[in-house]
Amino acid sequence: MSNTPSPAYDIDAAAIAARIDRPLVLVGLMGVGKSTIGRRLAGVLGRSFVDADEEIERAADRSVGEIFEAHGEAYFRDGERRVIARLMEEGHGVIATGGGAFVDGETRALVLEHGLAIWLDCDLDTLVERTSRKDTRPLLKTGDPREILFNLKEQRGPAYAQAQIHVVTDDGPHEATVARILEELAAWR
């Protein structure tokens, strides 16, 4: 075992947490790692973490897949918009959002004004591989997942690009991505 400190701790996370007191909102495509990375980021910063999809499921008392199936995507998006507005209001430290949330103009404006949006971005192969591990995403069941993710990447890119911070991840350890986010946050004014 090496004694080298993990890269996530090379930066003064406490100073970042003290300076940036608005919610850090992770946005980006399905499979990019928003929930896992968000949880770790919150841990390093000593802030609370909440996952918007889990909150939607709790509020509706059913899974995202069941909501899509019973009521359709538009209904899900309405709920998503309301839940994220509530989470922003509650002032959580780190919020992981579902891949479509930041594409909604109202949600995007709210997050950009009262939070700090962090776009997690990675290559298509990694997204395809990661999303193939779970069978819970209704949008990927309507055709070829690679083609769907490719199209969503194209369509949503301009919305995601409005995030204040952009971090490109790869299929390496999540810890490295957290370290990169911390670097961006340290430089953010």
Pattern 47-76, binding to ligand S3P, x per CB under 6 A?
------x----------x------------
Point out the residue whose Cβ comes nearest to ligand S3P.
98
Residues in 130-159 that interact with ligand S3P by CB under 6 A: 137-139
Residue whose entry in the numeric block shows the structure tokens 């008392």: 61
Nearest distance in Å: CB 115, ligand S3P = 17
Name 89's Cβ contacts closer than 8 Å, sequence gap at least 6: none
- Bridging pattern class, strands 116-121 and 94-96: unpaired
Nearest distance in Å: CB 117, ligand S3P = 14
Nearer to ligand S3P, 113 or 135 (CB): 135
Nearer to ligand S3P, 43 or 138 (CB): 138
- Interaction between residue 38 and ligand S3P (CB under 6 A): no
Reference 122, options 31, 23, 186; nearest CA is 31
Under the phi-then-psi rule, with left for phi > 0, alpha for psi from -120 to 50, and beta for the rest, what region is 91? left
Nearest distance in Å: CB 96, ligand S3P = 7
In degrees, to the nearest 5, what angle opens at C-alpha 102 toward C-alphas 177 and 56? 95
Report yes or no: 108 and 155 within 8 Å, Cβ to Cβ: no
Residues in 164-183 that interact with ligand S3P by CB under 6 A: none
Radius of gyration in angstroms for the set of CA atoms belonging to the chain, rounded to a whole number: 16
Kindly list the distances between the CA atom of residue 12 and the CA atoms of 15, 41, 178, 182, in Å, as whole numbers in the listed order. Answer: 5, 13, 13, 9
Pattern 72-111, binding to ligand S3P, x per CB under 6 A?
--------------------------xxx-----------
Nearest distance in Å: CB 3, ligand S3P = 35
By CB under 6 A, name the binding residues for ligand S3P.
30, 34, 53, 64, 98-100, 137-139
